A and B are shown apart, each in its own frame.
Chain A
Amino acid sequence: MTDATLSSAASAAPVTERKSKSLLEADSHTRRRNAAETRFRFYGIGAVLIGLFFLVALLWAILSNGLSAFTQTSIPIDLPLDKAAIESAEKSIVKTSKYNAMIGAALEKKLADAHIETSMSEKDLMKILSSGAASTVRDFVLANPDKYGTTVPFQLLASSRVDGYLKGRVTRAALANDKNLDAAHLDIVDAMMKAGIIAKTFNWNFVFGADASDSRPEQAGIGVSMLGSLYMMLVVLVLSLPIGVAASIYLEEFAPKNRWTDIIEVNIANLAAVPSIVFGILGLAAFIQFAHLPQSAPIVGGLVLTLMTLPTIIISTRAALKAVPPSIRSAALGIGASKMQSVFHHVLPLAMPGILTGTIIGLAQALGETAPLLLIGMVGFIASNYPDGVADGFFSPNSAMPAQIYEWAKRADPAFYERAWGGIIILLVVLMSMNILAILLRRKFERRW
């Protein structure tokens, strides 16, 4: 102590000498340092701006390409359900052609009522409507036998070319070598527009419907594959949360720190970095070829994604457990709590926000994962109907949102391309809701004091 005071007194002289400079003007060293700091601030702002630019560009691309998938052109047609006509149609071999004739007649009548002149044949005229129109009507008729003899208002989908024309995707020039639609059809569509008997409405079917075959993009929806994703996420959540949290608690709080736990730790970290397609082929070999679970089923997809999500959950849970101050553990042990009591009563509640956030981020990753699903066959035009009940939901073939988007992007018809972008919007909205949920949960469970 005394030594220290002495030495500072001895060095007092040079200190006063340095102090003689005025503080009012910065010396060259300070100026250089300030300049460097200013430069760095500009780099930072520049980096943020570049990031923002790409974000805006991305959002703009997605919205401008995808929003049109949320509207769909349809034509309201009043269809008299004549009992005799229906019965004869049901007796014939190609039932839909008879229904087509009924619809065609109604469409012709509608055009005539609106004073739209056309020399087109009834069959040719039907190209304005979706090729699925007949089965839509037939499904309704079979489901509602009590409506025979009445006139039922249908909202029939226009064909994807007509829809594309109204959305500006299809031009007259492009129709020159298109055998699905002629320019003459477009004249009629223009006239129908003017007469107000064709309209774009919100496309609920896109959000809630099932995928449709290659030739009927106007009917394709993402709803069923969204359900497939939901079932997969349920499997992932139910398996990976308890397994992941239990593993982390054991590793973090109970396991001795030795070579074995080090090896396990390194391997978990490595697993998190394994490409997802590897998990896909593992799932194919283990769950389908070995365990004989059904192909393309959400249960298998869920199992594969569980494998992928586990490392994420374990890593984030361990980080959350590590972040709990050790003093809390000692406090509990110090008054005679057992190890388990200290973990479950004190450490785990404090780690909960971190665990939940990690879990939701893991789930969000799994939700957006496509590659492993391709390998277990959860892709392609698979489910044209909603599953019957919960068991069917897990075990019958289905697709998942990202796989469905991939499938649409792959198909030739540009109408599907629009749906791929639309699907991306829905996927992003779901992911964003999950993130918001994560934030809300975090807030709720955050230490209140």
Chain B
Amino acid sequence: MTQMPGTIKAAAMTDTKISARNVQVYYGDTHAIKDVNIEIGARAVTAFIGPSGCGKSTFLRCLNRMNDTIDICRVEGSIDLDGEDIYDSRVDPVQLRAKVGMVFQKPNPFPKSIYDNIAYGPRIHGLVRKKADLDEIVASSLQKAGLWNEVKDRLDGPGTGLSGGQQQRLCIARAIAVSPEVILMDEPCSALDPIATAKVEELIDELRENFTIVIVTHSMQQAARVSQRTAFFHMGNLVEIGDTQDIFTNPVDKRTQDYITGRFG
């Protein structure tokens, strides 16, 4: 923590949950992430913004090693979660992903019942022994995701039968059912209408109390609304990170300024 790069304004940081140092990502010969150093605070929402193709999703996927599933992808540097390097050879990515959950751009519920969607994670991680405990987890996850009242009478109904916004909240509920510490969200609202988006944003704000959240978004307003800290990526570089308010009111870097004023991207 002492080797934190100067771009980070320590004042806004609570505890550091994730700290990445000198991260490089290559897809074959493409250098997609260039020497990124970043600290992500615990129990706060950090937003990644930047023009399309700048590497936001790539970097996000580094945080739960989803990049491992892409054959040509190579990650260098180190990323610590609570002081432990997640790229250490002893780390099992499967165990890591139970701790660092992910919500995707397109809602992707399993083609199973709503109940089974939520119950799947706890089941495979052996979190529960009794059916009653599982019921409890399903109910509380759905409540936390603000979906309980809408689906409590149709838990046996198909998860894919919900509306897009409900499906995305179902995916969030599914992610929190395994009680992760970090939740990564890659443009979680890009497939949703404004009302559903508002609901998800509200949810993210509530989840902040218990989880560390990293969200990639294309909407500057969304970043301003839900996040405490914002990181601006450009062409594989982390250009600037700081309190959301500061980034949007007086960005340090010219590129950040151009981006948030709509000059490019």
A328 to B121, CA, bound (A): 14
Within 318-350 of A, Cβ neighbours of B (below 8 Å) are at 325, 327-338, 341, 345-346, 350
**B110 and A346 within 8 A (CB):** yes
> Within 8 Å of chain A (Cβ to Cβ): is B171?
yes
Q: A335-B121, A335-B174, A336-B178 are in contact. Are A330 and B108 (CB under 8 A)?
A: yes
Contact of A257 among B64, B71, B94 (CB under 8 A): B71
**A328 and B106 within 8 A (CB):** no
A144 → B minimal CB distance (Å): 62
**B171 and A331 within 8 A (CB):** yes
A42 to B69, CA, bound (A): 50
Q: Which residues of chain A are near B55, meaning CB under 8 Å?
A: none
**B161 and A334 within 8 A (CB):** no
**B175 and A330 within 8 A (CB):** no
B110 → A minimal CB distance (Å): 6
Q: Which residues of chain A are near B110, meaning CB under 8 Å?
A: 328, 331-332, 346
> Within 8 Å of chain B (Cβ to Cβ): is A54?
no
Contact mask A181-193 → B, CB, 8 Å, 1/0? 0000000000000
**B160 and A449 within 8 A (CB):** yes
**B97 and A336 within 8 A (CB):** yes
**A337 and B108 within 8 A (CB):** no
A329 to B124, CA, bound (A): 15
**B98 and A335 within 8 A (CB):** yes
> Within 8 Å of chain B (Cβ to Cβ): is A115?
no
Q: Which residues of chain A are near B95, meaning CB under 8 Å?
A: 336
A335 to B95, CA, bound (A): 10
Size range of the interface on B? 20 to 34
Q: A256-B71, A330-B66, A345-B120 are in contact. Are A335 and B178 (CB under 8 A)?
A: yes
> Within 8 Å of chain A (Cβ to Cβ): is B146?
no
Chain B CB within 10 Å, residue with most, of A256, A325, A332, A335: A335
**B109 and A336 within 8 A (CB):** no
A337 → B minimal CB distance (Å): 6
A325 to B108, CA, bound (A): 9
**A333 and B69 within 8 A (CB):** yes
Within 119-137 of B, Cβ neighbours of A (below 8 Å) are at 120-121, 124-125
Contact of A338 among B64, B94, B158, B161 (CB under 8 A): B94
> Within 8 Å of chain B (Cβ to Cβ): is A448?
yes
**B101 and A330 within 8 A (CB):** no
**A331 and B121 within 8 A (CB):** no
> Within 8 Å of chain B (Cβ to Cβ): is A447?
yes
**B106 and A335 within 8 A (CB):** no
A297 → B minimal CB distance (Å): 44
**B108 and A341 within 8 A (CB):** no
A73 to B106, CA, bound (A): 70
A332 to B108, CA, bound (A): 10
A350 to B109, CA, bound (A): 13
A336 to B64, CA, bound (A): 10
Q: Which residues of chain B are near A449, meaning CB under 8 Å?
A: 111, 158-161
A137 to B99, CA, bound (A): 81
Contact of B108 among A257, A327, A447 (CB under 8 A): A327
Q: Which residues of chain B are near A327, meaning CB under 8 Å?
A: 104, 106, 108
Q: Which residues of chain A are near B121, meaning CB under 8 Å?
A: 335-337
**Total A-B residue contacts, Cβ distance less than 8 Å:** 73
Q: Which residues of chain B are near A447, meaning CB under 8 Å?
A: 111
B48 → A minimal CB distance (Å): 17
> Within 8 Å of chain A (Cβ to Cβ): is B102?
yes
**B111 and A334 within 8 A (CB):** no
**B171 and A341 within 8 A (CB):** no
**A336 and B94 within 8 A (CB):** yes
Chain B CB within 10 Å, residue with most, of A331, A350, A448: A331
Closest to B184 in A: A334
**B66 and A335 within 8 A (CB):** no
Contact of B102 among A325, A334, A448 (CB under 8 A): A334
Q: Which residues of chain B are near A333, meaning CB under 8 Å?
A: 66, 69, 97
Contact mask A288-329 → B, CB, 8 Å, 1/0? 000000000000000000000000000000000000010111
A255 → B minimal CB distance (Å): 10
A327 to B66, CA, bound (A): 12
**B104 and A334 within 8 A (CB):** yes
A341 to B125, CA, bound (A): 11
**A334 and B101 within 8 A (CB):** yes
**A341 and B104 within 8 A (CB):** no
Contact of A334 among B71, B175, B177 (CB under 8 A): B175
Contact mask A347-367 → B, CB, 8 Å, 1/0? 000100000000000000000
Contact of B104 among A257, A331, A337 (CB under 8 A): A331
A221 → B minimal CB distance (Å): 48
Contact of B120 among A257, A335, A338 (CB under 8 A): A335
Q: Which residues of chain A are near B106, meaning CB under 8 Å?
A: 327
A330 to B106, CA, bound (A): 11
A330 to B102, CA, bound (A): 9
B125 → A minimal CB distance (Å): 6
Closest to B94 in A: A338
Q: Which residues of chain B are near A256, meaning CB under 8 Å?
A: 71
A381 → B minimal CB distance (Å): 54
A332 to B106, CA, bound (A): 14
B208 → A minimal CB distance (Å): 20
Q: Which residues of chain A are near B101, meaning CB under 8 Å?
A: 334-336
Closest to A449 in B: B158
- Residue pairs across A and B with Cβ atoms less than 8 A apart, 25 shown, are A327-B104, A328-B108, A328-B110, A329-B69, A330-B69, A330-B102, A330-B104, A331-B108, A331-B109, A333-B66, A333-B69, A333-B97, A334-B66, A334-B175, A335-B102, A335-B177, A335-B178, A336-B97, A336-B99, A336-B178, A337-B120, A345-B120, A345-B124, A350-B111, A448-B111
What 4 A-B pairs come out closest when comparing CB atoms? A449-B158, A336-B98, A334-B102, A327-B108
